[in-house]
Amino acid sequence: MMKSSRARSIFSVIAIISFLISVYICWTLTAKTTEHSSLHTTLVITAVSSFNIAILSGWIGFGMMGGSLITACASLFVLLLGFRMGCYGHNVLILTYFVTAWIGYLFTNSKNRLDQLYVLRSERVEEEINILANEVKEKNKGIKVFEEKLMRYSTLKNVAESLSAALSLDGISDLIVDKTRKILGKSGRILLFLVNPDAQELMLSSSSARNYPVIKTKKGDVFDNWALRNRKPLMIEDVAKDFRFPANSIDKAADVFRSLIEVPLVSENKVIGVLRMDSQQEFAYTQDDLRLLDIIANLGAVAIQNSVLYSRTQELAIRDGLTGLKVRRFFMESFHREVKRASRKREQLSFLILDIDHFKDYNDKYGHASGDLILKFIAKTISDQLEGPDVASRYGGEELALLLWKKSKKEARLKADKIRQLVKKRPLTLRKHEANVTVSIGVSTFPEDGATEEELIRAADLRLYRAKAAGRDRVCSD
């Protein structure tokens, strides 16, 4: 369009100059010639050619209005010129002006149509360019979002590896919360609740709650229990406008947070907890955030279940399957450590060995199932009397052992006698018959009865034998 405007300006200048030159030449020649002068032909040719150039340039440069004006002015001037010279026969050549004007008109019309077509095509091209630019912008935006998603999902691999390497439940809980914050990349509070298997209620396991009030509901709120009960993800864009929950719960929640995403942790078709992230801003989270949180929750559920299974395996390795007390191997390792510690710190340590009186008779009379029941009962009685780091073990057969930390001989004897009385006081029903079970206990204390675990065991064994020889159902510590 700039080139077209420049060309029109040039033709406009040519038209004006040609018109002025034509007027000047014709007027000058007219002043020097007569009616029968030989200059008539030259005058006519000059007038026709010069004015035709001016007319054509005028149509091109000025358009329809300018071209028509120059055509009219040229025709009028030639008529006046002929009248002055008294030569009217050549006025017929004015028709060439109209031919030139017609050519200029056709050219102008064609040019205008071409210009309109050019403008229309330019607008279309500009529109297409804008559309393509918007598409490129949207695609670049989509690529950026995709790259962010790719980075997030790539991080999930590291999360899975980290969770699979962790074994402690506390460590896994903290790791889930930490990775959730890093992967989602959003500000807000993160809460991980796990189900207490005994009470079947939520308990706060780990949290990240910077710039938030102290968490008062350690057992979760109405939103957490909804996710637990319905086993479905929950997303709230603005808690003040969500009418799925009681009004009083909404009012309390709105003081702390405005938007929320939450998913249940499911393992072996059981909900074992809920993972939640909330923000003080409305519309803080998207469906993609909810999907990521669900993936993290699934990975976390597997890791938590593995941790529980690992803990159970560890417990099975150190606990007797019948009584729940520690196995002898673990007990002896603890005994060895505690003797060394007591020796280093010059503290007392007592060892008790307990034997069930007439245990074989109970098995023979009531069956081995009754013997197992007796062992469980006595083991439970002993476990209830343990304090702090005290350790109880199924030492062998019907013998049970206790390691009492920082207990003198007198204190150990009192504890042993209390256990003996508790066992004796409660009769057991064995095959619809009541039976009073009694125990005999031998006591030894570090360091007065021995400096090693072998010496302490030997002393306690000897005293247990004396208690049985003296009639059973008694404690012997001397």
| Of residues 394, 351, 347, the one with CA closest to residue 375 | 394
* C-alpha Rg value of the chain to the nearest Å: 54
**Closest CA relative to residue 193, chosen from 163, 240, 226, 159:** 226
- Long-range (24+ apart) CB contacts under 8 A made by 134-141 are none
CA–CA distance, 358 with 368 (Å, rounded to integer): 13
Measured between alpha carbons, how far apart are the two ends of the chain, in Å?
Answer: 120
d(C-alpha 307, C-alpha 311), whole Å: 6
Q: Are strands 259-267 and 270-279 parallel, antiparallel or unpaired?
A: antiparallel
Say if CB 224 and CB 253 are below 8 A apart. Answer: no
User: Do the beta carbons of residue 339 and residue 349 sit within 8 Å?
Assistant: yes
- Contacts of 172 by beta carbon, 8 Å cutoff, 6+ apart: 163, 166, 300, 303, 304, 307
Q: Which two tokens stand for residue 50?
A: 């010069």
Measured distance CA(339)–CA(350) in Å, rounded = 10
Please tell me the distance from the alpha carbon of residue 321 to that of residue 152, in angstroms, as a whole number.
45
Between vectors from CA 428 to CA 423 and to CA 431, what angle results, nearest 5°?
155
Of 126, 138, 315, 398, catalytic: 398
Handedness of CA 163, 168, 173, 177 (dihedral sign): negative
Would you call 398 a catalytic residue per the annotation? Answer: yes
Question: Active-site residues: which are they?
Answer: 398
